[in-house]
């Protein structure tokens, strides 16, 4: 059976790294908000059972009557799951703890790795997609959820925390991308690597930036996200940092990252 082609609109990007606490969810939320702020129509797909992206965008558990679980398990159309958020032009398909069990529940399905792809290729039916960007927030694991995300996407964006073992974790995720590209999704590429939680007072942070750049060259975005307390405060207010305090260094960095992402998109589309 031939693989359905991904649509050219929306562009589908996965935010993935098998380590927890490296800034995946923060990046998905704030990159999504920044893209929406410049006029893109954005959908965040929350594939982490913890649901931090949903909470961080002000979607309480009580309003998650439909979730990404229904998409993966029952093939529910994305349009029926997506909710509007506090950010204009930014919607989210929320997650619930049901996702914890979904791997086992879909394991026997022949198309288990393509459940999300089916849903995203069906976006908008025959007509226009309501979104120009889809950002998928992954759990801290290279499990079947993350594989579903990679099998459904054009490219992967990897947040990497500025800490000593950063490069080691990177090779693991890059080889997973390569395996998915060969086995499941020939369109998949690495969009870029974003260095997060940079601490200018710490020599190690600078050294990690240099190391990652020397190994990965221009795959690394120029923008480095600083460690910034406003960023860590924002989720408890149910808002992206960019809404909570647009002037803080972290928000400004995410706005710059969004323009780099758009710039790369233009180059990719022209190629």
Chain residues binding ligand ADP by CB under 6 A are: 20-26, 52, 140, 196-197, 225, 227-228, 231-232, 235, 250
Cβ distance to Mg ion smaller for residue 36 or 53 = 53
Quick one: tokens of 87? Answer: 């950010």
Contact predicate 46/78, CB 8 Å: no
Q: What beta strand segments (E) does 19-116 contain?
A: 42-46, 83-84, 90-93
Write down the least CB distance from residue 265 to ligand ADP, Å.
23
**Residue 147 site contact among ligand ADP, Mg ion, none (CB < 5 to 8 Å, cut-off depends on kind):** none
Give me the count of residues in the chain: 271
CA 195/CA 256 separation, integer angstroms: 13
Identify the helix (H) or strand (E) that includes residue 133: strand 133-137
Write down the least CB distance from residue 140 to ligand ADP, Å.
5
Residue nearest to Mg ion (CB): 25
CA 77/CA 54 separation, integer angstroms: 18
Cβ distance to Mg ion smaller for residue 25 or 185 = 25
Cβ distance to ligand ADP smaller for residue 222 or 232 = 232
Cβ distance to ligand ADP smaller for residue 64 or 227 = 227
Sheet of strand 11-15, all strands in order from the earlier edge strand to the far edge? 83-84, 90-93, 42-46, 133-137, 11-15, 155-161, 189-196
Maximum distance among all alpha carbons in the chain? 55
Handedness of CA 23, 27, 30, 33 (dihedral sign): negative
Write down the least CB distance from residue 6 to ligand ADP, Å.
24
Write down the least CB distance from residue 117 to ligand ADP, Å.
22
Write down the least CB distance from residue 109 to ligand ADP, Å.
27
* Chain residues that interact with Mg ion, rule: CB under 5 A: 24-25, 52
Cβ distance to Mg ion smaller for residue 47 or 123 = 47
């Amino acid at each position: 059976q031939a693989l359905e082609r991904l649509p050219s609109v929306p562009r589908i990007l996965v935010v993935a790294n098998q380590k927890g606490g490296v800034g995946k969810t923060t990046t998905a939320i704030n990159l999504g908000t920044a893209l929406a702020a410049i006029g893109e129509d954005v959908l965040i797909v929350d594939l982490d059972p913890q649901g931090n992206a949903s909470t961080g965008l002000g979607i309480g558990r009580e309003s998650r009557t439909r979730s990404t679980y229904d998409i993966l398990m029952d093939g529910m159309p994305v349009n029926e799951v997506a909710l509007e958020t506090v950010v204009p032009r930014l919607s989210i398909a929320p997650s619930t703890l049901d996702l914890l069990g979904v791997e086992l529940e879909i394991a026997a399905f022949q198309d288990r790795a393509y459940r999300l792809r089916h849903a995203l290729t069906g976006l908008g039916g025959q007509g226009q997609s309501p979104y120009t960007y889809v950002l998928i927030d992954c759990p801290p694991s290279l499990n079947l959820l993350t594989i579903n995300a990679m099998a459904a996407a054009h490219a992967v964006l990897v947040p990497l925390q500025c800490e000593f073992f950063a490069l080691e974790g990177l090779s693991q995720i890059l080889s997973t991308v390569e395996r998915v590209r060969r086995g499941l999704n020939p369109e998949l590429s690495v969009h870029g690597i974003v260095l997060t939680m940079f601490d200018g007072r710490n020599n190690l942070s600078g050294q990690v930036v240099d190391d990652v750049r020397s190994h990965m060259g221009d795959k690394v975005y120029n923008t480095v996200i600083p460690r910034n307390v406003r960023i860590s405060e924002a989720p408890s207010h149910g808002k992206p940092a960019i809404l909570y305090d647009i002037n803080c260094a972290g928000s400004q960095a995410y706005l710059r990252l969004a323009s780099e992402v758009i710039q790369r998109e233009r180059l990719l589309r022209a190629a």
